Amino acid sequence: MSVPSELPAIPQTLYHYTSQEGLLGIMRGKMLWVSSIRHLNDAAELSYAIAILKKYLAGPEIGPEDQLSDTWILFQQGVTKYLGVLENSDSYVGSFSEERDQLSQWRAYTGGGVGFSIGFDFEMLKNAATTRKFELLRCTYAVKEHDEYVRSLIEKSKRALREEGMRGVDKAVIQCVSEFMTFAPRLKHPTFKEEQEWRVFKTTDLGEPVKFRAGKSMLVPYGEFPFRDEHNNTPIVEVVVGPNPHMALSKSSVEGLLIASDLGHVAVLESSVPFRNW
């Protein structure tokens, strides 16, 4: 499958924006709550990627010269059936940004009040994700790139069907859907590009206990992503105090929280964004 010729540089630090309650919970448990992808603030999410795949599935057949029109129809039906299951299945997502101190993030992810941006060392975060069987994924916002990914996947499926014909339909369907799910969580609508998001991602296991937290308009299913390693180290390297009317006191409080959480070495910085929400 084709990929962009020049990939952006890997950041040294990723930032998780959260509220006061969120910061306390993260420091207390040394973990993040990772929310159901179907309940995230970004309304499109997985359905955006599924819509792109459906667009290309509805495109031209393999071609009458291949005499595979019936094979292609069975393939379309098989993938469409799986997509219906995917739209109602669930995965857990935890969001990070390359941006340390961004106005739109303060507005969106701090619970409507004072918040914090927690900096995580990239390599340590990646290791924690691998250990916990999560993936650490960089989101992509370019429509051209999204189309290129899906078009390439469809072309690969067509080649497989040409080679194996009717007997290869089930295999081609499973392969298509499996590969689609490896990059679908990365595809985000271009309007969210400013966030420069990375995410830890994990498909829920059958029978896995589900927990719930209060959301803005509904209860939100969530899982847990512990990030402390076997040596009691965490990826947290800094905390940025969001805009608030008592910056010095807030910074001092965070420093005290970090010391109490055995993270006294973590730097505490102040936001430079001139935003007032009080």
pLDDT of residue 278: 62
Residue 183 lies in a domain: yes
Residue 7 lies in a domain: no
- Distance, in Å, from the CA atom of 172 to the CA atom of 168, rounded to the nearest integer, reads 6
Residue 152 lies in a domain: yes
Residue 70 lies in a domain: yes
Residue 5 lies in a domain: no
pLDDT of residue 7: 66
Domain count, the chain: 1
pLDDT of residue 276: 72
Residue 47 lies in a domain: yes
Can you give the residue range of the structural domain that contains 117? 13-270
Residue 276 lies in a domain: no
Residue 214 lies in a domain: yes
Instruction: Return the amino acid letter for 101.
Output: D
The whole-number mean pLDDT for each consecutive block of 10 residues of the chain, a chain of 278 residues, reads: 63 96 96 84 71 85 58 91 75 93 89 86 97 94 93 92 90 92 86 91 76 82 93 96 93 97 97 79
Contact 101, 271 (CB under 8 A): yes
